[in-house]
Amino acid sequence: MSDPRGRPGPELTFFQTLTSDVGRVTADVMKRGVRREFDSTLSGLETFYLSEEERHRLADMRPLRRMLVRLVWLVKSLLMRLTAARRVLLALALVLVLLGMEHVQVGTVRVSFPVSRVLGDLLLFLVLMLELKDKLLARDELEAGRKVQLALMPERSPSVNGWDLWLYTEPANDVGGDLIDHLPIDDRHHGVTLGDVAGKALPAALLMVKLQATLRALVPQFDTFTDLGAALNRILVRDGLPNRFATLVYLVLTCDSGEVRVLNAGHMPPLVIRGRTTEEMARGSTALGLMPQATYVEQRLELSPGDVILVYSDGITEAMNLSGDFFGDERLRACIQETTGQPVAAIGARILECLATFVGEAPPHDDVSLVVVRRQ
């Protein structure tokens, strides 16, 4: 444990940790309610273990039948996801537990099987320990991957003469597929990147790292965005995986000038805010890694003092609340209207606040990334 200033704190005992956990879980249950907490847990299990078709079939069943069928399908799916040895152990444990619940009448004597029940419980506990061991190992590896990914991200927003910048990214899982980066090109130009790799978690994160390294290596070699985009695309097509691609917005800011060069490879068009007017830039070219012969074009902007460019990932507009509604473009634009004339950090913070209020207690579905650029 560490205190807020980063100094090591006293190590908590097992009972102190357990007491803290009980308090935290109790607070969550009191806040959300037992029924809501149970429904949320059950929904998460169904989403993970059952297919979309099976979930639709369950929804059409009567309550009692749905409860029984759900239990059978969940157990079956659990068994099929285990290794062969653990599948056998779990099946044997379930048989022993069920056998231990039975009583057989022999003449005037009722015979039970307590040993069977105990053995079944022990086997269940063994399978649980084995699965938890794998989960903990995977969690440690993901935590190490997250540290590497964070180390590759910029620690703070860059300082560029004539511009204010604010960069933000938050993965939906331990590691994410969104790319936020910046790099000085020469004395007068500075590059800023927001990328979004298709998919989530570790596969997307690995491709994101490749995209970041490739872009940083290629930027000094090409003067035009047409050539830069084509080179990036060729490498991702050559080295990528099937059905994996990336969208990208790459901005080059000119110091002490309003000139902005933009490469948009399949990403949502950035928004340009001039006073209380919000405009959408022209749509970009093809996403990177999809088509070997894709072509890319450069867009140019001239911003006046106070004008803002907003680049964002679809984790913002496609964020969902508990009702399954999307945050959407209209809510984003309405939120932007509340930030007229404010600093970039305040603009970004307000967008995140609007998003958090809308999403509420729904779990995150995608990485959230923002780049806010304002001409001084």
CATH number at residue 287: 3.60.40.10
Residues 184, 119, single domain; the answer is no
List, for residues 45-84, the tens digit of each pLDDT value.
888 888 889 989 998 999 899 889 998 998 888 888 888 8
What's residue 10's pLDDT?
58
What's residue 324's pLDDT?
86
6-10, 21-25, 102-106, 203-207: the lowest-pLDDT one: 6-10
List, for residues 11-50, the tens digit of each pLDDT value.
667 777 878 878 887 877 777 777 777 777 778 788 888 8
Question: Would the pLDDT of 4 be above 60?
Answer: no
What's residue 286's pLDDT?
92
What's residue 227's pLDDT?
95
256, part of any domain: yes
What is the rounded CA–CA span in Å between residue 159 and residue 146? 26
Residue (of 241, 240, 242, 219) closest to 231 by Cα position: 219
Cβ-based neighbour number of residue 127 at 10 Å: 21
Question: Would the pLDDT of 291 be above 60?
Answer: yes
> Of the candidates 148, 173, 198, which is a domain's last residue?
148
**Torsions phi, psi of 374, nearest 5?**
-130, 130
Check if the beta carbon of residue 371 is closer than 8 Å to that of residue 312.
Answer: yes
What's residue 105's pLDDT?
55
- Side-chain half-sphere of 143: how many Cα atoms within 13 Å? 6
Residues 140, 168, single domain; the answer is no
The three-point CA angle 27-28-33 to 5° equals 105
221, part of any domain: yes
Check if the beta carbon of residue 355 is closer than 8 Å to that of residue 368.
Answer: yes
32, part of any domain: yes
pTM over the 0.95 mark: no
228, part of any domain: yes
Residues 186, 330, single domain; the answer is yes
Residues 233, 357, single domain; the answer is yes
> Of the candidates 124, 148, 172, which is a domain's last residue?
148
- Type of residue numbered 343: P
353, part of any domain: yes
User: Quick one: average pLDDT of 290-318?
Assistant: 94
What's residue 300's pLDDT?
94
List, for residues 245-279, the tens digit of each pLDDT value.
999 999 999 999 999 999 999 999 999 999 989 99
What is the chain's Cα-based Rg? Answer: 27
Residues 182, 122, single domain; the answer is no
Residues 197, 327, single domain; the answer is yes
Question: In percent, how much of the chain has pLDDT > 90?
Answer: 43
Residues 89, 192, single domain; the answer is no
Residues 193, 78, single domain; the answer is no
Looking at per-residue pLDDT, the higher value among 90 and 373 belongs to 373
User: Quick one: average pLDDT of 178-198?
Assistant: 92
The structural domain count of the chain equals: 2
Residues 249, 339, single domain; the answer is yes
Residues 335, 283, single domain; the answer is yes
309, part of any domain: yes
260, part of any domain: yes
Residues 128, 176, single domain; the answer is no
Range of the domain at 178: 156-375
User: Quick one: average pLDDT of 122-133?
Assistant: 82
List, for residues 146-163, the tens digit of each pLDDT value.
676 666 677 778 889 999
Confidence tier at 2 by pLDDT (50, 70, 90): very low
Residues 177, 256, single domain; the answer is yes
Name the pairing type of β-strands 178-184 and 189-197.
antiparallel
Question: Would the pLDDT of 243 be above 90?
Answer: no
> Of the candidates 106, 131, 148, which is a domain's last residue?
148
